[in-house]
Amino acid sequence: MSTTGERSTATIYEEVQASEEFADLRSRLRRFVFPMSAAFLIWYLAYVLLASFAPSFMAIKLWGNVNVGLVVGLLQFVTTFLITTLYVRYANNHLDPAAERLRERIEAEI
């Protein structure tokens, strides 16, 4: 491809990146990702702090050999799967349609 063709393609992407639609898409992504990441990090930090500074609480037996620490640790995995499920639903409903419109716009101009 010639240098002129390459510049033309770069211009399309630069135009899309500077567009209001792209800014809205980026904003939608951030509105989900940042709060969800902060919530999970706080939840994980709480687990680490409880394990470090409240070992007697974490050692409380709930049934048999299952204690609070084990349940809270397993809930970390549950939370990860829950966040993943929520993200997929959010992306399907709010991100993917907007991204598809941008992709179609780029392909129409190439």
**Domain definitions of the chain by residue range:** 3-109
pLDDT per residue as tens digits for the range 85-95 = 999 999 999 99
pTM: 0.78
| Buried b or exposed e, range 21-32, using 16+ CB within 10 angstroms | ebeebeebbeeb
pLDDT of residue 1 exceeding 70:
no
Q: How confident is the model at residue 110 (pLDDT cuts 50, 70, 90)?
A: confident
3-class DSSP assignment, residue 59: coil
Residue with tokens 């809205």: 24
**Are the CB atoms for 99 and 25 separated by under 8 Å?**
yes
Is residue 2 pLDDT above 80, yes or no? no
Q: How do residues 19-60 score in pLDDT, each as one tens digit?
A: 999 999 999 999 999 999 999 999 999 999 999 999 999 999
> Which of 90, 82, 89 lies closest to 43, judged by CA?
82
